[in-house]
Amino acid sequence: MAPLQVFVLLSLICLCKSDDRLTPAKPLAAGDKLVSDNGVFALGFFYPKNSTADSYVGIWYNNIPEPTYVWVANRDNPITNASPGKLVLTNNSDLILSDSQGRALWTTMNNFTSGTTGNAAILLDSGNLVIRMPNGTDIWQSFHHPTDTILPGMPLPLSANDDIYTRLVAWRGPDEPATSDYSMGGDPSSDLQVVIWNGTRPYWRRSAWNGELVTASYQGSAGFIMTLRIVYRGGKLYMTFTVSDDSPSMRMVLHYTGMFRFLAWNSNSSTWEVFTEQPSPSCDRYAYCGPFGYCDATETVPKCNCLSGFEPDGVNFSRGCRRKEDLKCDGGDNYVVWDDTIITTNTTSQEMKMMY
């Protein structure tokens, strides 16, 4: 009798295990979820905080009590009026999200027409949702279609000529997944820098890339290490980051305020702590000091100054600087050289020349 009891117990354990994949024969309905094999990530339907009308399909941390969404499929096309939705993997290897009326709200649009059997949509331990063929080839992945978040190991393409060039786009608000005006990615006019935009206007940029491998490591108070890399491989530029095995859950997110943050989960306080963030309050912001002004980062507290021959245009630098005297183009003009100055509209400049 004892062996039978053991057999029944093992059977119950297997039946209760969460699944990490969808197949054409097994869609995802409201109330269902996929869970990655390591239990860290989940995919399913969710309602933003304080909302019961609009729902979304997204990926979140399964083992963290604070709801934290790292990817949203239908962020600009929610399921409305509490209508139950369904996520289906078709025989043509497309994921399609539809509402109760059968209206398609989101799709991967792979247009893979072979009708191969044995395909599956799998939520990986990394938080990446992939559509995988029987031969192991991934024909689509959520890492190539991010929302506002970069997870460890996820490459963000920065080259404008990349087939999967994309930007992070911030949420519209703390509980509103829709796209906002803030976005972040490689400068489409140059592969030399990472830019945050506010609409069409640059808001912040990293220092120009000089062609060398860029690696920056940060050590947390608990001893873990996070390493940020900008790498050039196969003619394409990527930004990615990795973490040590002992690190807590970490993510990089473009916040709805326009701040780009590195966040680490503190299990003691059950909160996300800001590891580091950009832009800083002053010089890193695009054109922070306005026309003919410059931000002096060598001071203890960075501050705005005017170029030689200019004065503040007003009580502060909100309008930049103006000439003290009108420009007189009567010959004898010359240039003043300003070394170690970054020009906001020229990614390759090492110095600036000003005509006076």
pLDDT per position as a tens digit, 234-265: 777 788 888 888 889 999 999 999 999 999 99
Q: What is the C-alpha separation between 119 and 131, in angstroms, rounded?
A: 7
- Average pLDDT of span 92-107: 93
CATH 2.90.10.10 domain span(s) along the chain: 18-143, 146-279
pTM of the model: 0.80
Burial of 254 (0-12, 13-18, 19+ CB in 10 A): buried
Q: In what order do the strands lie in the sheet with 149-150?
A: 149-150, 250-254, 260-266, 271-278
> Over 90: is that where the pLDDT of 162 sits?
no
pLDDT at 213 over 50: yes
Query: CA-based angle 56:162:155, to the nearest 5?
Result: 55
The reply to whether CATH 2.90.10.10 applies to domain 18-143 is yes
Judged by average pLDDT, the poorest of 75-79, 147-151, 234-238, 275-279 is 234-238
- What is the CATH topology of the domain spanning 146-279? Agglutinin, subunit A (2.90.10)
pLDDT classification of 141: cutoffs 50, 70, 90: very high
User: In this structure, are residues 206 and 239 in contact, taking their beta carbons and an 8 Å threshold?
Assistant: no
Among 212, 222, 263, which residue's Cα sits nearest to residue 241? 263
Res. 348: pLDDT tops 70: no
* Average pLDDT score over the chain: 81
pLDDT at 10 over 80: no
Token digits of residue 316: 């502060």
Q: How far is CA 116 from CA 23, 61, 132, in A?
A: 12, 32, 11
Strands, E assignment, 47-135: 56-61, 69-72, 86-89, 95-98, 104-107, 120-123, 129-132
| pLDDT of 333 | 66
CA–CA separation, 157 and 141 (whole Å): 14
For residue 16, the model assigns a pLDDT of: 37
Which residue do the tokens 């025989």 mark? Answer: 91
Least confident span in 21-35, 60-74, 160-174, 327-341: 327-341
CA dihedral 68, 72, 78, 79 (to 10 degrees): -80
Q: What is the mean pLDDT of residues 330-334?
A: 66
> Has residue 353 got a pLDDT over 50?
no
Of 2 and 167, the structure prediction assigns the larger pLDDT to 167
Percentage of residues of the chain with pLDDT beyond 70: 78
- CA atoms of 21 and 33, how far apart (whole Å): 9
Q: In this predicted structure, what is the pLDDT of residue 13?
A: 34
